[in-house]
């Protein structure tokens, strides 16, 4: 590693040479204290291992006396290690306190201005006017209301932070590591339970949970340390040697916490944990830096010119380059704030100007006074004597005028408070937080909050097969072994017809056949893979690799004891669980192998050589590496073999094809005998896995999850394409894709096979979509062989690489390929990565001709916007694709830690159905936020409009500062909680996704906002300017002042309008939904499913009643409140908004374009033809188009619209007759009877 050299200073100074357990061992300057051990790792001090005479003796010095057995299982032993060397628990970031959040909320400029206004109001009322009875009320009311608003915001933020912290703890609780303790080779514990001296198992995909040193590892073990060094090159790791050497210059046995195992397996001795590990120290430094940053202000940006700042301020909206919902909300919030500021400043200037003109320039009460004595007696007027005698009485500025200006300022600030959408981020946070919590119940553990919303826009899901579409409960269903074919038969009654039972029955007189098969399985699987039986239910429980578990289950059915068999091959000097060497599985070789010794102690085995290698892998690669196959095994154990000729290979390949056509995964097992250790050792010979003898080919079934076909059908209905990326053979992948309906009937051609381009291998995909570099010599690489329909290694032109060394994608070829691609078999991680990146860059939706051809030829409808791609992955190599996707899903059960780190959401049950739930939650988040925006913008438009009207008409706002703050709380904190917590429904999957270019305010939302703003403005202006005409007895007098009955009634009507409009905002129907279902017209539908909404509506109404009765002067309400009749009127006009919503819906249905027009993209003429030919367009479309065309004909023929519609129908009939060459008589008989108007 580039950062680890022997002359590097320790990350933390000092050394803990002793603690309560006495002094730590120290030798040749290497101290085994917590900080000393951390230094050994951070500085790669190989000399420390030599100083203590090898890794075994160093381990004994830190508490691990036997590396093979590990630490003791007793809790006292681990507690001692933890107290001595520290805990592996890294503290979570400190949670913000409630007081900190309160202070942060008070730092909002508008809140500070209101508080300052409250203080000034108190000073004027009590100090200057000395009105001790009522002078304090306005200032105190504003102060209390501001504190209430701030408290609600702080409490909400505190709850949000606590929720997020709980989510982080849950994510941490789901982690585990495997250690060797008490002689048990596989003990699963939480990473926080690791202690110094533990022996940890490392496998591909694991993330090191502590610092340590490799004590045993495969020859190809490599780590990704880019998280630490920033270098992408993989770092080889070698096991630490004994005490007789310092180690070579390239030897690096040290492993750092937070780094990933990319290749190989090994055992690691833990040396540093928690705050002493490199990861812990880096985290501590980051937090120190954050504290420093909070104490020192950041450098200010270069000042912009006044013109640039002004231009930026008056620039509204953003680009449509595929922005996320969060980006759109940021733009919307800024635009609303700008408009609010403009209106607030305008209202303040208007009121101030009118007051100055009236009282100081045009004249007020002073000009009416004619003599000096009267003028001076008013205290607000002054007598100015003229030089020629006489004089004039004029207005002068007094202390009370400060209160008037302050009132105007308070009104302006409160308008700004109402306009600024503080509730928007609150609504987003609430919607995301509630969704995250509830998504966990649906087996979706969310790591990144914004990924919830992104899933609502997903247009494509690239899914793995194993475990996601299938149950990941594999079972061996067929085997060709020793010259016989064995198949699983579905049991009848209580009869056991499993493959294992049939083979056990056949092997009764020949146990040697069972032994060879069991050895080839049990001695060549992952040590962490186990199969246990639940005696109560009779079901089996798999832990580890599912394929290994399926094979182990077969050996159990053959009555083979795995533990006793493995003990016979345990090597006394090896850290391996058995055998002398292992070669882990790799996606390049597509096989794994394990070497064992011929005999151990008293055990003598009938092997012709001293060593045997067992290997298993993909049949194509294994058959190519085999030269013979087992034909029979005698009872004495003698194995008969035969050369593997072309005819024999074809027999096995036919079996493989049969398995794949049934959706089974085929696997081949083989062996090779060695007389001695090969030259160069087991790890230095690349030809070990050749010249093997084939033992058997098995077919393994992974049953399709019952819920998957329905879930994929839901995706298709929701406008989401599903693509399968799997490492299985093409035939197997196609069979599974048919079963789960990824390949639909329309995607299949003759013989039930996929059409060209609908299914292909990763090799073909890779070869077609990437550019080649003909200027360079040919090289051996993976290419697609059409004869065998699979990948082979052969000479071919190398790929063209960019500056970063990545393959260059031919976007044009890719765009021709991906729209029809449904199955990608033999898929490697880089193929999945190319697919994800290419789709995200694709602009196929802009090619109308191409989209139309795809729809006409294959029934494929390309989403008319940027592709939003979700990807599932479980392996370490899937991490780049998971990162590159819009949303990455990692498997919670089968996924590696690396995949989980790279993902946005973890599928706790590894099921595809859970992804569909995530889509539903994502769409619900978008809709919840949109509902709140619709409600808030309606209130904003009405409140600002009335504030402007009040400023012009009355030089005052009809809503006082305290009243506006209450309205602000209704529409921000309370409304966001009510509308952002609506639960999702299945109806969310009945529409297409929302595109990235789609404006956040849709046509229907715009119609609702404008429609309700008009209704509310009409009602409120009626109350404001003509109160005496209201249907009330006694009539309400026109008295436009704060605290009057007139403006008290106005305030109550305003709040009732908002309360009932919250019910209207619960629905966001499209025009098509309104045309096709009556449920979308019912704004009360499903309201009982959201207890938050019901509780908040009741609370808000009760608070309004309390304010109107007891608010009095503090809230500028007439003492005693309103009468029953006035309350009934307020509620009635508020409920009138529900009826008004029906009228808005009718207008939307009649005049807005239908979803059919937008999706199909027909021209208006073509759409009209389609409507009259009764295609997908609904009756509503026909009515709307008929009215539109009828109006046109009525103008042309100067007749009424009813006759115009009839003429339109007759013209349509005539046009149809021309196309079909039918007689006019026949046409006329088909048409309606139209009276000709001469």
Q: State the Cα angle at 982 between 977 and 987, rounded to 5°.
A: 160
The strand pair at 790-796 and 779-785 is best described as: antiparallel
The strand pair at 475-481 and 18-19 is best described as: unpaired
Q: Name 793's bridge partners.
A: 782
56: which 2 tokens?
A: 């075994």
| Contact between residue 263 and residue 222 where contact means Cβ atoms under 8 Å apart | yes
Q: What is the set of active-site residues? A: 464
| Contact between residue 740 and residue 704 where contact means Cβ atoms under 8 Å apart | yes
862-885 burial code (b ≥16 CB/10 A, e <16): bbbbbbbbbbbbbbbbbbbbbbbb
How many beta carbons lie within 10 A of that of residue 358, not counting itself? Answer: 13
Residues 6+ apart with CB under 8 A from 1090: 978, 981, 982, 983
Cα 778 to its chain centre, rounded Å, is: 42
- Nearest in space to 818 (alpha carbons), one of 882, 784, 769, 856: 769
730: which 2 tokens?
A: 């093409």
**CA–CA dist 713, 822 (Å, integer):** 14
The strand pair at 460-463 and 721-725 is best described as: parallel
522: which 2 tokens?
A: 């049990």
CB-facing half-sphere around the CA of 160: CA atoms within 13 A: 18
Give the position of tokens 């639940």. Answer: 534
> What are the C-alpha distances in Å from 1145 to residues 318, 632, 1070, 1152, 1193?
29, 79, 10, 10, 27
424: which 2 tokens?
A: 């928007």
- Nearest in space to 165 (alpha carbons), one of 91, 99, 225: 91
Q: For 339-447, list the strands marked E by DSSP.
A: 381-385, 391-395, 444-446
Angle between helices 1164-1172 and 1179-1196 (to 10 degrees): 120
DSSP 807: B
Q: State the Cα angle at 672 between 547 and 476, rounded to 5°.
A: 25
Burial of 774 (0-12, 13-18, 19+ CB in 10 A): exposed
**CA–CA dist 1171, 1177 (Å, integer):** 5
**CA–CA dist 1134, 1095 (Å, integer):** 19
> What are the C-alpha distances in Å from 41 to residues 9, 210, 227, 429?
12, 11, 16, 42
**CA–CA dist 442, 75 (Å, integer):** 36
Angle between helices 646-661 and 730-739 (to 10 degrees): 20
What phi and psi, each to the nearest 5 degrees, are found at residue 649?
-60, -40
660: which 2 tokens?
A: 């794949």
**CA–CA dist 438, 1104 (Å, integer):** 32
The CA R_g of the chain, rounded to the nearest whole Å, is 39
Q: Name 47's bridge partners.
A: none
| Contact between residue 521 and residue 669 where contact means Cβ atoms under 8 Å apart | yes
SS3 251: coil
**CA–CA dist 200, 255 (Å, integer):** 11
Q: Name 177's bridge partners.
A: 189
């Amino acid at each position: 590693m580039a950062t680890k050299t022997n002359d590097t200073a320790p990350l933390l100074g000092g050394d803990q040479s002793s603690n309560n357990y006495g002094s730590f061992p120290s030798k040749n300057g290497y101290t085994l204290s917590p900080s000393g051990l951390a230094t050994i790792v951070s500085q790669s001090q190989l000399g420390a291992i030599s100083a203590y005479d090898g890794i075994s003796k160093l381990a004994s010095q830190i508490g691990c006396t036997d590396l093979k057995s590990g630490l003791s299982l007793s809790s006292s032993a681990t507690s001692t290690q933890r107290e001595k060397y520290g805990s592996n628990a890294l503290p979570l970031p400190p949670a913000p306190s409630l007081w900190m959040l309160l202070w942060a909320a008070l730092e909002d400029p508008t809140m500070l201005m209101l508080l300052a206004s409250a203080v000034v109001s108190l000073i004027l009322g009590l100090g200057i006017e000395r009105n001790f009875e009522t002078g304090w009320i306005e200032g105190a009311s504003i102060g209390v209301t501001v504190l209430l608003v701030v408290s609600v915001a702080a409490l909400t933020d505190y709850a949000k932070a606590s929720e997020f912290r709980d989510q982080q703890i849950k994510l941490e609780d789901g982690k585990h590591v495997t250690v060797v303790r008490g002689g048990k080779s596989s003990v699963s514990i939480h990473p926080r339970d690791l202690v110094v001296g533990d022996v940890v198992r490392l496998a591909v995909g694991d993330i090191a949970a502590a610092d340590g040193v490799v004590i045993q590892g495969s020859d190809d073990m490599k780590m990704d340390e880019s998280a630490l060094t920033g270098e992408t090159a993989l770092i080889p790791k070698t096991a630490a040697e004994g005490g007789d050497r310092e180690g070579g210059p390239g030897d690096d046995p040290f492993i750092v916490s937070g780094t990933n195992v990319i290749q190989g397996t090994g055992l690691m001795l833990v040396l540093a944990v928690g705050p002493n590990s490199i990861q812990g120290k880096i985290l501590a430094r980051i937090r120190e830096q954050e504290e420093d940053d909070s104490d020192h202000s950041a450098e200010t940006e270069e000042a912009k010119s006044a013109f640039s700042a002004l231009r930026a301020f008056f620039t509204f909206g953003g680009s449509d380059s595929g922005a996320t919902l969060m980006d759109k909300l940021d733009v919307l919030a800024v635009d609303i704030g700008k408009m609010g500021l403009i209106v607030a400043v305008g209202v303040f200037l208007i009121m101030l100007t009118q007051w100055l003109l009236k009282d100081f320039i045009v004249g007020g009460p002073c000009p009416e006074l004619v003599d000096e004595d009267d003028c001076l007696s008013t205290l607000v007027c002054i007598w100015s004597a003229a030089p020629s005698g006489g004089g004039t009485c004029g207005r002068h500025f007094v202390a009370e005028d400060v209160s008037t200006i302050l009132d105007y300022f308070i009104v302006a600030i409160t308008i700004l408070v109402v306009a600024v959408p503080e509730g928007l981020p609150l609504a987003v946070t609430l919607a995301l937080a509630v969704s995250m919590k509830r998504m966990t119940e649906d087996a979706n553990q969310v790591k990144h909050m914004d990924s919830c919303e992104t899933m609502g826009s997903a247009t494509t899901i690239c899914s793995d097969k194993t475990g996601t579409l299938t149950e990941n409960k594999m079972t061996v269903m067929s085997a060709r072994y020793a010259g016989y074919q064995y198949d699983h038969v579905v049991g009848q009654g209580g009869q056991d017809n499993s493959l294992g039972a049939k083979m056990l029955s056949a092997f009764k007189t020949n146990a040697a056949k069972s032994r060879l098969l069991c050895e080839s399985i049990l001695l060549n699987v992952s040590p962490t893979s186990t199969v246990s039986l639940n005696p109560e239910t009779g079901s089996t429980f798999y832990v580890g690799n599912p394929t290994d578990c399926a094979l182990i289950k077969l050996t159990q059915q053959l009555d083979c004891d795995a533990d006793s068999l493995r003990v016979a091959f345990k090597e006394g000097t090896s850290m391996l669980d058995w055998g002398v060497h292992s070669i882990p599985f790799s996606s390049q070789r597509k096989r794994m192998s394990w070497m064992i010794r011929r005999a151990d102690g008293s055990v003598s085995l009938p092997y012709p050589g001293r060593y045997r290698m067992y290997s298993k892998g993909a049949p194509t690669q294994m058959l190519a590496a085999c030269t013979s196959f087992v034909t029979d095994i005698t009872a004495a154990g003698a194995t008969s073999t035969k050369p593997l000729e072309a005819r024999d290979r074809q027999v096995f390949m036919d079996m493989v094809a049969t398995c794949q056509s049934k959706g089974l995964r085929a696997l081949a097992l083989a062996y090779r005998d060695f007389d001695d250790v090969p030259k160069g050792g087991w790890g230095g010979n690349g030809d070990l896995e050749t010249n093997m003898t084939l033992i058997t080919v098995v077919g393994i079934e992974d049953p399709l999850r019952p819920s998957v076909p329905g879930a994929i059908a839901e995706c298709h209905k929701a406008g989401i394409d599903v693509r399968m990326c799997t490492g299985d053979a093409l035939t197997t992948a196609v069979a599974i894709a048919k079963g789960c309906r990824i390949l639909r009937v329309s995607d299949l051609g003759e013989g039930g096979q996929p059409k060209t381009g609908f299914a292909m291998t990763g090799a073909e995909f890779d070869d077609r979509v990437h550019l080649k570099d003909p200027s360079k010599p040919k090289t051996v690489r993976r290419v697609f062989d059409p004869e065998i329909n699979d990948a082979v290694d052969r000479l071919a032109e190398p790929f063209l690489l960019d500056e970063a060394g990545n393959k260059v994608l031919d976007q044009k070829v890719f765009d021709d390929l991906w729209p029809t691609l449904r199955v990608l078999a033999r898929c490697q991680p880089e193929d999945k990565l190319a697919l994800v990146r290419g789709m995200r860059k694709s602009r196929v939706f802009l090619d109308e001709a191409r989209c139309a051809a795809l729809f006409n030829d294959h029934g494929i409808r390309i989403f008319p916007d940027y592709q939003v791609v979700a990807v599932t992955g479980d392996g370490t190599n899937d991490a780049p694709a998971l990162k590159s996707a819009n949303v990455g899903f990692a498997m919670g059960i089968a996924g590696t830690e690396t995949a989980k780190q790279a993902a946005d959401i973890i599928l706790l049950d590894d099921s595809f159905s859970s992804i569909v739930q995530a889509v539903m939650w994502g769409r619900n988040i978008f809709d919840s936020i949109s509902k709140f925006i619709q409600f808030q913008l309606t209130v904003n438009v009405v409140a600002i409009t009335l504030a402007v009207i009040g400023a012009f008409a009355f030089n005052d706002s009809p809503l006082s500062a305290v009243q506006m703050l209450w309205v602000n709380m209704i529409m921000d904190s309370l409304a966001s909680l009510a509308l952002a917590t609506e639960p999702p429904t299945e109806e969310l999957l009945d529409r297409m996704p929302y595109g990235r270019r789609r404006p956040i305010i849709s046509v229907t939302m715009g119609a609702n906002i404008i429609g309700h703003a008009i209704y509310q403005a009409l009602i409120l202006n009626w109350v404001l300017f003509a109160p005496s005409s209201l249907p009330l007895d006694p009539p309400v007098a026109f008295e436009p002042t704060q605290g009057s009955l007139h403006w008290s009634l106005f305030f109550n009507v305003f709040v009732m309008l908002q309360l009932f409009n919250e019910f209207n905002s619960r629905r966001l129907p499209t025009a098509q939904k309104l045309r096709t279902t009556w449920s979308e017209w019912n704004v009360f539908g499903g309201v009982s499913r959201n207890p938050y909404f019901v509780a908040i509506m009741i609370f808000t109404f009760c608070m309004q009643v309390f304010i109107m009765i007891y608010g009095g002067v503090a809230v500028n309400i007439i003492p005693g409140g309103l009468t029953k009749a006035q309350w009934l009127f307020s509620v009635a006009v508020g409920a009138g908004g529900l009826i008004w919503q029906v009228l808005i819906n009718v207008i939307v249905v009649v005049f807005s374009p239908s979803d059919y027009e937008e999706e199909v993209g027909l021209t208006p003429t073509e759409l009209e033809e389609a409507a009259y030919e009764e295609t997908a367009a609904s009756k509503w479309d026909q009515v709307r188009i008929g009215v539109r065309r009828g109006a046109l004909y009525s103008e042309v023929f100067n007749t009424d619209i009813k006759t115009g519609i009839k003429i339109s129908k007759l013209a349509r009939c005539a046009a149809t007759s021309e196309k079909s060459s039918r007689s006019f008589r026949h046409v006329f008989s088909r048409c309606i009877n139209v009276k000709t108007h001469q």
